[in-house]
Structure 1
C-alpha cells in the first residue's frame, strides 16, 4: 500500500513539476514574441536618435519637400523622335516636354507589331546636340533590353529621365531620337 501511495505522490509531484515547466516555457515564449515585436519600434527609435538609416526626415510633409538639385532658373525643351526599321509603327506619345535640369520626367513610346509573327527588337538612342549625351540621364528605358512583340501586339514603353544640372547653359533644346530595329528574324514564324 505504501508503494502505491509513494507512486501516486511521485506522479503528483512530477505532474506539478511538469506544469511549472510548461508555465515557464509559455512565459518565455510570450516574452520572446513580445521582444521580437518590440524590436521594430526600438530599431526605428535608435536609428532616429543616432541619425543612422533615416529614410524620411521628422516632421516633413510631402508638399514641403523640395529637391534642391533641380535648377529652376532654366528650362530645357526635350524633343522626341522615332525611326522604325522594320514591320511596325513606332512613335512617341508626345513630341516634346519642358523640364528643369535635375527634374525627373517620363514619356512613353508606342510600338505596334504589324506582322502575324513575333519579333525581337531593340531601340538605340541618339541625342542632338551630341554634347548633351553625357548629361541626359535615363533611369528607366525600354532601350536597356530587347523587346519581344507578339503578333499584332501593341506596347507602351516608358522612358524616365532627368537632365544633369551640369548641362552647359547654352544648350536649350535636346532631341532624343530612337531607332527601333529587328534584332533577329527567328523570334517566331506565322502559323
Structure 2
C-alpha cells in the first residue's frame, strides 16, 4: 500500500512537471519578444521609435554602409551610398541593391552587424530587408530599403558607426518545388 502511494505521488509530480513545462513553453514567446524589444536585437525593433523621438539637430553621426557576400554567393549586392550623415532621433533610409546574375532562381538572407558593437542598442531598424528572405529570379535586380533611427541617447562621443550586411545563399535550404504532371485526360 505504501509503495502504491509513492508511485501515485511520483506520477502526480511528473504530471505537474509536464504541465509546468508546457505552460513555460507558451510563456517563452512573449518573454522573447519583450527581451528583443528591450535590447533591440534579432530584428525585433520597437515601432515606438518611429516618429516618437525628437530629432537632435545639434549633432550628426556618420553611418557607413558595407556589404559583403558569403562564400559561394554570386549576387551583386551593395548599398546605393557608402555613407549617410544622420541626426539622432531622425528617421533615415538607405537602399541596398541586389542582382541575381545567374540563370537560376536563388534565395538569400542578409545578416546585419553594427560596429562598434556597444552602439547596437542605440540603432533601431524599423524596416529592413534582413527581416525576410529574398528570392530573385534569373537576372532580377531589386532595391531593398533599411529604415532606421539612431537613439538620441547615443553617447555623445560616438561620431561614426558602421552598418554591415553579409548576404548568404540559402537556396539549398529551401525545399525544392515539385511539379506534378497532369493526367493527360
TM-score after normalising by structure 2 = 0.63
Larger radius of gyration: 1
Match of 2:141 among 143, 154, 165: 154
* Aligned: 1:181 with 2:168: yes
**Number of residue pairs aligned between Structure 1 and Structure 2:** 124
Q: 1:33-91, CA deviations, whole angstroms, 9 ceiling, x for partnerless residues?
A: xxxxxxxxxxxxxxxxxxxxxxxxxxxxxxxxx98611111100000000012011100
Q: Does 2:83 align with 1:79?
A: no
CA distance in 1, matches of 2:106, 2:60: 39
Aligned-CA RMSD value: 1.9
SS state of the match for residue 131, structure 1? helix
Aligned to 1:70: 55
Structure 1 unaligned blocks of 5 or more: 1-65
1:142 corresponds to: 129
How far apart, in 2, do the equivalents of 1:102 and 1:150 lie? 37
If the length of structure 1 is used for normalisation, what is the TM-score?
0.61
**Residues 53 and 152 of structure 2 are in contact (CA less than 8 Å); yes or no, is this contact kept in structure 1?**
no
54, 74, 78: which one aligns with 1:91: 78
Q: Which runs of 4+ in 1 moved over 3 A?
A: 186-189
Gaps of 5+ in 2: 1-50, 178-185
Alignment of 1:53-132 (within 5 A): 69-85=54-70, 86-132=73-119
